[in-house]
Amino acid sequence: MPLAEFRYASGHKVHAGDKGRVYPPKGYVGGGGVIYVLRAAIHGPDANLWGALKVASDDLNVTLQVNSFDTGTHSPNSRHYAGLAADINKMGDKRSTWQQVTMNNRFAVEFVDLFLAAGWRIGEGDPTRAGILLGPPHSRWNPTGIDHTTHLHLSIARFRPGEMPPGFEGERLDTHC
Ligand SMILES: [Zn+2]
């Protein structure tokens, strides 16, 4: 499935409680990407967020670490709490040489470019858009006032365009990371 197909929530959660090297699972050969999870997800990431991470990591042959899916402290009503966002804090060609995710990590830059080409948008604030945030406040890939110097926030949309329930209060750009 092309990356763009993973932009919207499926409502189905995967990998609750899993940590360490989650992709590829032990005994399986993956497509080049490797995903570590530092803190086990409580309810698990949405299957489409997980799918997007797998496809992108395979495409770029990158080894990455997700620091948080639905754990930790985020803004109220953050997509994290719905399993729709991942914070990625390490990226490299392998675990022994991966580096902190910043705007200067070339794997992170390639990652951002890949997702933008697949329809993700910088920032959040629209529940029908998949979002990315990376970098210091009010910088190229981070229009918010919330610091993302050391991690990449990747989210998928809560709803498909036209399917947002009536009465759903829009997200505010500065409060969702
Ligand atoms: Zn985040």
SS in 3 state form for 28-88? CCCCCCEEEECCCCCCCCEHHHHHHHHHHHHHHCCEEEEEECCCCCCCCCCHHHHCCEEEE
User: Whole domain around residue 64: which residue ranges?
Assistant: 3-163
Q: Is 134 inside a domain boundary?
A: yes
> 176 with 82: CB under 8 angstroms?
no
Q: Is 102 inside a domain boundary?
A: yes
CB atoms within 10 A of CB 138: 10
Q: Is 135 inside a domain boundary?
A: yes
**Is the model's pLDDT at 73 over the cut of 80?**
yes
CB atoms within 10 A of CB 175: 16
Q: Is 173 inside a domain boundary?
A: no
Lowest mean pLDDT segment, chosen from 53-57, 69-73, 75-79, 148-152 = 75-79
Which pLDDT band holds residue 177 (cuts at 50, 70, 90)?
low
Sign of dihedral through CA atoms 96, 97, 98, 99? Answer: positive
Q: pLDDT tens digits, residue range 154-172?
A: 999 999 999 988 888 766 5
Can you tell me the distance from the alpha carbon of 151 to that of 114, in angstroms, rounded to the nearest whole number? 17
86 Cα: distance to centroid of ligand 1 (angstroms):
6
Q: Is 168 inside a domain boundary?
A: no
**Is the model's pLDDT at 173 over the cut of 50?**
no
Can you tell me the distance from the alpha carbon of 2 to that of 165, in angstroms, rounded to the nearest whole number? 27
What average pLDDT does the segment 113-123 reach?
97
32 Cα: distance to centroid of ligand 1 (angstroms):
25
Can you tell me the distance from the alpha carbon of 167 to that of 161, in angstroms, rounded to the nearest whole number? 15
Name the domain count of the chain: 1
Q: Which residues contact 138 (CB under 8 A, 6 or more apart)?
A: 144, 145
176 Cα: distance to centroid of ligand 1 (angstroms):
8
**Is the model's pLDDT at 80 over the cut of 90?**
yes
What average pLDDT does the segment 5-34 reach?
96
154 Cα: distance to centroid of ligand 1 (angstroms):
7
Percent residues over pLDDT 70 in the chain:
95
Which helix (H) or strand (E) is 113 found in, with range?
helix 106-117
Q: Is 69 inside a domain boundary?
A: yes
> 157 with 167: CB under 8 angstroms?
no
Which pLDDT band holds residue 75 (cuts at 50, 70, 90)?
confident
- Residue 74's pLDDT is 81
132 Cα: distance to centroid of ligand 1 (angstroms):
9
Q: pLDDT tens digits, residue range 128-147?
A: 999 999 999 999 999 999 99
Task: Give the residue among 74, 85, 19, 76 at the shortest CA–CA distance from 46.
Answer: 85
Peptide bond into 24 cis (omega under 30): yes
Q: Is 27 inside a domain boundary?
A: yes
Q: Is 100 inside a domain boundary?
A: yes
